[in-house]
Amino acid sequence: MEPGDELTVVRGDTLVILDPLTNLEPEDEKAMRVDLRGFQVQSSPLEDRGHRINTATDLQEKYGHKREAVTVFPLQAKLNNKVIGESYIVVAEPRLEYLVLRESQGGPFVAYPGDKLELPANSLIKIMDVKTNVPDATALFITMAGRTVRWQQTGSSTGIDAAKLTADEVPLDITRHGRSLGRIWIKQGKEFRLFSESNRVPFFPVRY
């Protein structure tokens, strides 16, 4: 990163700050300190290089500034307490973008966060894919009414049996590190319908 550049990460990602490249004299480069505003460890309060920084737990929000849906933290190089270079770590909130589901009697379809899915008692739903803004290698979990649903990110899962649902809506959450990235709502009904407050889909699911 050059001065003025931004690096965007998703909250929960881990950062390690390495040595910067400078044109300073050896004595000044040795005296330089790197400071990620909002991060501090007691063992080395003046130097942030070499530490593993969990962006979900290790950053103090009061040192960042909000910009729409992200928080921006200055990353500063300092010499004699003077800032000689500054770039930025942009922390975005993890979010669910959509789910790809498959119904036993039909093909795949898409559900977005906040959508409500109504299933007849003879339906079996499988989770085929999950689209989020977190890195692909990140471990994600799916819970229904607080209980983990067996699922593999390769696209196979056990089915959600609508016969075990009731007329009351239950949340289906996509979670990372125990935090929900987004949810849809599922309940048993008389027919197969998908409701969306955003009007992205009609009452009957759009095939994927």
Give the whole-angstrom CA distance, residue 70 versus residue 39: 17
Give the model confidence (pLDDT) of 152-205 as tens digits.
Answer: 665 556 678 899 999 999 999 999 888 899 999 999 999 989 998 665 554 444
- Is it the case that residue 3 has pLDDT exceeding 90? yes
Whole-structure pTM value: 0.75
Span 100-124, pLDDT tens digits:
998 877 788 999 999 999 999 999 9
- Cα dihedral 36→39→45→48 (10° resolution): -40
129 has which bridge partners? 100
Percent of the chain's residues with pLDDT above 90 = 59
Report CA torsion sign: 24, 26, 27, 29.
positive
> Any idea how long the chain is?
208
